[in-house]
Structure 1
């Protein structure tokens, strides 16, 4: 039985307010969320799931509301925790760190988690979603690193190089036959 997972990476988000959990979307991020809603409306989505982070939920919220669905939040789908206390890290700090983490999957900063730990928690949750929502179309509001780790578990072409080429937002439609990834299609056009 086919199940479709739509990985929706969040839109542009300011790194000047709140913390990793509470920062929302920029004006461009909100505008892109509207485009996502228009793009996916015809897909007849059955369920909406998200990371607990505000920017991920806000990116899929308009679409979920337009079809009368609630967003189910899964804590385990949160972004890779780079450093403790949900601190925001500037991009010029995050990108070198991400490269090191992909090269050394067990490396983490104090209070953070490793690539291996993040992938294990996220993939375990994705497998539960595939089981619970079998035969349905499911949107997942997500983040770049955790999305890449989930996709990479099923197909190793989704790696650091892939992550560095993704955009904010981005959309990947994954077709599964049971727990086997059959095809992935990028739906977002820059």
Structure 2
């Protein structure tokens, strides 16, 4: 029996504010309703999320419609790019992303590398695959984390892939055990 994981990148959010508590923009709120509309008839069994507010708010309407609570997994949080709590400006973030994808162990002092982020996120995914074997699971997370999880299974999910994702975005990943057997983009 296969397990289906719907990997959801959170909706649009303001770039100012605390990384952990930033909310969705008006567009992000509207898009969370579209996420719900797309996934409400997929027979999703469980909804899990990063602890970051914008990820929770993206999947919360879906959880409500299917009568579930959002289960929070700390390991799905965004990659820690710096020791600050505010989002880095794109001028700072883009060079860090580029260096991180060319050198997965690169990290600023008091920050996290792609390698470290991928390792923690894959631990969560393997736990989810074991706990919810044969189920359909919606996972609210972040662009970099989603890319690193998917890249663990196939190197085509790289920085170029990340740059081509949208906020929000949805990918259906089909697993047999812990082996990935297929990926389809669901968001349109």
Which category describes the TM-score, using the shorter chain as reference length? over 0.9
SS in 2 for 1:87: coil
| Gap regions ≥5 residues in structure 2 | none
Which residue does 1:3 correspond to in 2? 3
Which residue does 1:12 correspond to in 2? 12
Partners of 1:106 and 1:39 in 2: how far apart? 37
SS in 2 for 1:158: coil
* Pair 1:28 & 2:14 matched: no
SS in 2 for 1:138: strand
1:1-53 Cα distance to aligned partner (Å, 9 max, x none): 2000000100001012x310000100000000000000001101000110000
TM-score normalised according to structure 1 size: 0.97
Which residue does 1:80 correspond to in 2? 79
Which residue does 1:70 correspond to in 2? 69
Partners of 2:73 and 2:124 in 1: how far apart? 8
Partners of 1:92 and 1:65 in 2: how far apart? 37
Partners of 1:67 and 1:129 in 2: how far apart? 19
SS in 1 for 2:139: strand
1:131-188 Cα distance to aligned partner (Å, 9 max, x none): 0000000000010000000011111111111111101000000010111111100000
Which residue does 2:37 correspond to in 1? 38
Offset at 1:99?
0.6
Which residue does 1:167 correspond to in 2? 166
1:98-132 Cα distance to aligned partner (Å, 9 max, x none): 01111111111122100110011100110110000
Which residue does 2:154 correspond to in 1? 155
RMSD (CA atoms): 0.8
Partners of 2:171 and 2:5 in 1: how far apart? 8
Which structure 2 residues correspond to residues 126-141 of structure 1 after superposition, within 5 A?
A: 126-141=125-140
Report which stretch shifted further, 104-113 or 126-135. 104-113
TM-score normalised according to structure 2 size: 0.98
- Give the aligned length: 188
SS in 1 for 2:36: helix
Which structure 2 residues correspond to residues 54-133 of structure 1 after superposition, within 5 A?
A: 54-133=53-132
| Gap regions ≥5 residues in structure 1 | none
